[in-house]
Amino acid sequence: MTERLCLVHYHEIGLKGKNRSTFENQLVTNLHRALSAFDVTNIARISGYVIVETADRAASEELAAAIRRVPGVARVSLAYRCGLDESEYVAAAIRALGEAGDFASFKVHARRSSTTYERHTLEMNQLVGSALCEAFPDKKVDVHHPDVTVVVHVVQGSTYVYAASAPGVGGLPVGTAGKVVTLLSSGFDSPVATWMVGRRGAICVPVHFSGRPMTADTSEWLCQDIVDALAPSGVVGRLYVVPFGERQREISLAVPQSLRIIMYRRVMLQVSERIARLEGAKALVTGESLGQVASQTLENIAAVNEAVTMPVLRPLIGSDKQEIIRRAEQIGTAEISSQTAPDCCTLFMPRRPETHARMEQVLEAWESFDHEAMVESLVDAVEWRDFPQCPSYHAPRGRLREHHRELAPWGGGER
């Protein structure tokens, strides 16, 4: 009996050697989470693939599209699974090529993962190719540069036949590269940086610094929307919000105007590092791009980095704004980030920010206010919301203070 299912291909996972099964199992776990809205009956590993089966045995393009958004998926094919009977897989090949859309040329690529099947791949190519030539007489065979390739693959007693195939996001399954804390604003850059690190297998825990109470909470709502937009990829486990506006005012009154931004950034990194220690995260992630704004020169990046001991990853450091916006459009955050919202990034900004800070001046300004007490108070005031879309995320237990407030404006429970 022929049924239609999704055949999930992965490339990078296949290079993991003895650890390969760990990555495959994590991908299966993540697919279960990502496809919870579909009537999926089975997700299983088979000889270099993962198969996704549905109750009606007729997998849809909507299901394939959801799978393609999961990190670790290189490609998804809508395939027909049938037995080893020649008439079955020939009929499946005709159906598969008929669903391939507009094309002028094709070829057949037969494979056998089981040598117990008596037919050689050359014979299978000839058999299926002849049937397709009869069924599509106006199409030509091109074995070098075909518009469509019909794959006929014998695996573990079944034959998988497909022509329709589309690329996924690639990368590694979320949960295979540890945990990171990302500094998340409602702009274009940091959501893209968060997604890029998540695509490499990291569990992301964003921290948003709100201008509240000096500004409205609009940016917090937008950050929630951004995390919801990233939900299909399952990269975010928890969102922290830090009300930072009052502390920014204190800093602006205490330090030279030109060094305000650097002081803001140093405090933000120290708070994020404290949260990362509580979370068991191994690195911080920012959306900085070299030279894009005043705080992102090499001298200023070094002045900010000096405040923490944890590695700070900057996946966008060599990207320009247009590249970042294009990626934001691909991952579904661009429309949200295009909305303007007052937040800590626009609060108490200097007229002439320092672009080439000297470390001795930075440290002098740093000691001009009680930064240790400030960081402590900000960590005490942190608010959060958990997101169930990341099955690998585990919240810290017994290490966050019980008097933390509920996450405004969305609500949540104390721990």
Tokens found for residue 361: 């001046």
The alpha-carbon radius of gyration of the chain (Å, integer) is: 26
209 annotated ligand-binding residue: yes
C-alpha–C-alpha distance, residues 99 and 97, integer Å: 5
Q: How far apart are the first and last CA of the chain?
A: 52
183 annotated ligand-binding residue: yes
How would DSSP label each residue in 69-91? TSTT--EEEEEEEE-S-HHHHHH
265 annotated ligand-binding residue: yes
Q: Does residue 196 contact residue 233 with C-beta atoms inside 8 Å?
A: no
C-alpha–C-alpha distance, residues 155 and 247, integer Å: 62
Q: Decide: helix, strand or coil at residue 208.
A: strand
Q: Does residue 41 contact residue 54 with C-beta atoms inside 8 Å?
A: yes
287 annotated ligand-binding residue: yes
Listed residue (9, 383, 6) closest to 206, CA to CA: 383
Opening angle at CA 60, ends 58 and 66, nearest 5: 135
412 annotated ligand-binding residue: no
Lookup result for tokens 């997604």: 195
Tokens found for residue 25: 């199992």
C-alpha–C-alpha distance, residues 127 and 282, integer Å: 55
Provide the greatest CA pair distance for the chain: 83
The b/e string for 63-97 (b: 16+ C-beta within 10 A; e otherwise) is bbebbbbbbbbbbbbbbbbbeeeeebbbbbbbebb
C-alpha–C-alpha distance, residues 17 and 227, integer Å: 33
298 annotated ligand-binding residue: no
129 annotated ligand-binding residue: no
Known binding-site residue numbers: 183-184, 208-209, 265, 287, 296
Known binding-site residue numbers for ATP: 183-184, 208-209, 265, 287, 296
